[in-house]
Copies of this chain bind each other. A is one copy, B any other.
């Protein structure tokens, strides 16, 4: 069932909650792929009722061209979601009516990496996710590890604001050649699509080098050079960070979990990825 505004969503959820049903939410921007569907399956395994939201949130796009070109495929998305209990597809006006004035801000975590390259992106994301949590009355919400920094920020503000939602993350799904599944992959021309898996491959080589004891700064410099050599550019970042705080790591420290994160354009399509070190 498709729900187009928060009143329709809330009345449906209220009915479900009366029966004691747990509610799972999978927030998406549509253009669904297997990665999204793995989140839906995780939600279905844990929750009595599952809602998938599809909303290309304009306030998290810092670039009007990117917003205009973000892939949209509502009919195909709805067909892929045949088994879920509710599909929430609000309009921009329903989410941000006249007079709308509020935002959720997270300091520190949002300044680095994606935040440094996409001003306002994370505040827009945090705000719309807070709204979706409130509208859906979700007990649990599911997010992909592909957007690792986003995931850490969601965990942070959910805890900080005491939102009564449990956050579950699911691993990044990949094509057979290693390319992380992403809605933006649809925008890659064929030649670029063939080169795109090199992002993951070079990240793996970089992670291996760091684990083998190569100094982190040297490994990152080599990785960036490799990315440029195979045609990526600009490279917004290739960074080795604490997995939770995303503070840059200068060396391997026992007990600390590190994450390697990258963002780089290929043929003007900006790709991101991250892996454990």
Contact = CB atoms under 8 A, between A and B. Distances in A.
A69 interface: no
Nearest to A133: B162
A78 interface: no
B162 A135 contact: yes
A107 interface: yes
B109 A160 contact: no
A102 B160 contact: yes
A124 B53 CA distance: 30
Contacts of A161: 102, 104, 127, 130-131, 134
Contact of A164 (B104, B137, B162): B137
A188 to B, nearest CB: 35
**Copy total for this chain:** 2
Contact of A106 (B6, B10, B101, B108): B101
Main secondary structure of the interface of A (DSSP, over half): mixed
A160 B105 contact: no
A163 interface: yes
Contacts of A99: 156
A137 B137 CA distance: 11
Contact of A134 (B107, B156, B163): B163
Contacts of A63: none
Q: Which 7 A-B pairs have the closest CB atoms?
A: A134-B162, A102-B160, A102-B157, A135-B162, A101-B107, A131-B162, A103-B105
Interface string A1-21: 000001000100000000000
Contacts of A10: 164
Contacts of A100: 160
B104 A108 contact: no
Nearest to A132: B162
Given A101-B157, A127-B161, 5 more contacts: A101-B108, A101-B109, A102-B104, A102-B156, A135-B162
Interface string A38-68: 0000000000000000000000000000000
Contacts of A102: 104-107, 126, 156-157, 160-161
A25 to B, nearest CB: 13
A230 to B, nearest CB: 37
